[in-house]
Amino acid sequence: NAKRKPLIAGNWKLNNNHLESIALVQKLAFALNDADFDAAEVVVLPPFTNLRTVQTLVDGDKLKIGYGAQDISEHDKGAYTGEVSGAMLAKLGCSYALAGHSERREYHHEDDAIVNAKVKAAFANDITPILCLGEGLEVRKAGNQVAHTLAQLEGALKDVTAEQAARLVIAYEPVWAIGTGEVATPDDAQEVCAALRQRIGELYTPEISRETRILYGGSVKADNIAGIMDKSDVDGALVGGASLKPEEFVKLARLG
């Protein structure tokens, strides 16, 4: 997979106010500042209120850190109190937005149709959606993780064109492994990531399938990233808890 650059994305969730985000981004930038750092593309996903601050730091110092949002509205504008549109995120220089994180699906009742609309809203604004998919514990115990995750993929990609799909990033995040310390084995991650890649090929083209970056997420830390990255269909990680600790996240960015 020489063509696929590893992507390490830090999902800060509901953590860090804008001052704390300055401190964290500066620590990351300082640690990753060597000219030949090229192990991975590094992205942070702060709360909405911190995006302007992060934009200013990244632009002002030409930092090698990308950033994006943890969510995106499916609507463009109008009477949708509390929502933030793709156009607003694009104006702040966001390159990425999560779509369908399991916490949004669970606590904000986002179903596949809403996730599909969010994926399309991201593409419409030249933002790369990081489409989050993955099964809960019951589905895993029943051995249905592949079928479940592929169904989520197809729901989220309804009416997404090949041109758009060529820019998609997928994050396979088994819900039972998020924030639990219960990391899936590299083989568990590979099984579902390979199935996702194959289905992308069936839905679109072999070339798009080969080039799509598929991340694993769920209790990834500096000491387990290498085993996950060894797998041929895993191209990086979506990291929650460990992305809040600068030293840990820098080790992750260096792939362990």
Residue number, 177 or 200, with CB nearest to ligand PEP: 177
32 or 178: whose CB is closer to ligand PEP? 178
Which member of 74, 101, 110, 148 is catalytic?
101
> And the tokens for 69?
């949002």
**Catalytic annotation present for 109:** no
Q: For ligand PEP, which residue has the nearest CB?
A: 240
Residue 179 in the binding site for ligand PEP (CB under 6 A): yes
CA 4 to mean position of chain CA atoms: 15
Instruction: Restricting to residues 9-28, name those near ligand PEP by CB under 6 A.
Output: 11
Quote the least distance from Cβ 191 to ligand PEP, whole Å: 18
Interaction pattern, residues 124-163, with ligand PEP; x per rule: CB under 6 A: ----------------------------------------
Q: In terms of Cα–Cα distance, which of 30, 26, 35, 32 is closest to 56? A: 26
Which residues neighbour 209 within 8 Å (Cβ) at sequence distance 6 or greater?
197, 198, 200, 201
Whether residue 39 contacts residue 6, with contact meaning beta carbons closer than 8 Å, is answered with yes
**C-alpha closest to that of 100 among 204, 11, 228, 205:** 11
Tokens representing 83? 């929502």
Nearer to ligand PEP, 7 or 242 (CB): 242
Q: Does 196 bind ligand PEP (CB under 6 A)?
A: no
- Supply the angle between the helices 186-203 and 145-156 in degrees, to the nearest 10: 40
DSSP letter for 183, please: P
Q: Which residues are annotated as a binding site for substrate?
A: 11-13, 179, 219, 240-241
Residues that bind ligand PEP (CB under 6 A): 11, 173, 178-179, 217-220, 238-242
Q: Which residues are annotated as a binding site?
A: 11-13, 179, 219, 240-241
